[in-house]
Amino acid sequence: MTEATQAGAPEEVIGTTRDGRPVRRFTLTAPSGARLQVLDAGASAMSYRLDGEDPATEMLVGFDTVEGFENGIGGGYFGAVVGRYANRIAGGRFTIDGVEHQVSTNEGGNTLHGGVEGFSHRTWSVVSSSRDQVTFELTSPDGDQGFPGELVARARYELLADGFALALSAVTDQATPVCLTSHLYVNLASGGSAYDHTLQVHADEWLPIDGESLPQASGLASVEGTPFDLREPVRIGDAVSSDDPQVRAVRGIDHSFEILGDGLREVAVLTEPVTGRVLRLVADAPALQVYCGNFLDGSLVSRNGALGQGHALALEPDVHPDSPNQDWAGDVVLRPGDEWTSRIEWHFAG
């Protein structure tokens, strides 16, 4: 193990990708003993332990090997920062200032999380590191995956007194849609099914989707009287077993919620009843994509074993799917001279 700088985060090369890129892992340690491990591959969060020595206090679902990481990226974007545009774009097409752009498609005929070679598949450079933070940077050239403009993105992980935060930012030299987010997965029981967790989401509205997981023409709808009413804590297993057609279509919940308020605020609370552990998710994004591990089938093997349906939960603060093409959605175009920013905080207790 070597030091990134004299006072930098300890780092080590843990292997190479299938195309020969070395992967570095950085370990951040808090005075409390909590430990966060992140990779330069995908600017990914792979492990957070409440007690750095005890695997039974692992809060993230991740992988300890490069092979596992690559399988996890391909099987669900595990741990990575996704972009240039997180979530889906219908047909991989959008129009800015009267010019239509076509970007790479990787989910049927649509674009998911930036396309075939999105930011999750890249090696990010290291700008700085210390015992409690590391900052990554990625330059996406003009035309990358079809997106216009050169985009320079940064992802800064930092330890908090009770968890960790991710500060994301981007600048561009041409108008381009931007939405970055973290696609890490959690399981507060440190393994096994997460269906006994309860989830509360601070949202009065959710987004019904069509057969391609794109917004229905009607747009946002009230959560009242639906399985998506998570305003009070709901056992996840109960929500995903609903007979509602929207739940059946995606084998659970994989939907976007319109979060109440704006600015940095609590967006969701996840609780594991046996251990009493609680995750408070804080973010400044307008929406939250909730994915309950619906399509995990045991073929991915994490540090805690094979990942079956519902063994990992992704709570992704972002914008609604296909926002570049939805009149009701907010503006997601970043322009030269402006900076796009977003912050996510994971606060743990118990």
Contacts with 125 (C-beta within 8 Å, 6 or more apart), sequence order: 40, 136, 137, 138
- Report the C-alpha gap between 149 and 44 in whole angstroms: 24
Q: On the CB side of 281, how many CA atoms lie within 13 Å of its CA?
A: 25
- Residue ranges of E strands in 18-120: 22-29, 35-39, 44-49, 81-82, 88-89, 93-96, 99-102, 111-112
Is 183 considered catalytic here? yes
Tokens of 340: 């796009």
Q: What are phi and psi of 91, to 5 degrees?
A: 65, 5
Residue 151 pairs in a beta bridge with 140, 172
Residue of 11, 113, 121, 183 marked active site: 183
Is 117 considered catalytic here? no
Element (H, E) at 174: none
**Do 155 and 142 touch, CB atoms closer than 8 A?**
no
Tokens of 133: 């933070």
- Report the C-alpha gap between 255 and 81 in whole angstroms: 19
DSSP per-residue letters across 213-231: S-B-TT--EE-TTSTT--S
Residue of 11, 70, 316, 345 marked active site: 316
Q: State the catalytic residues.
A: 183, 316
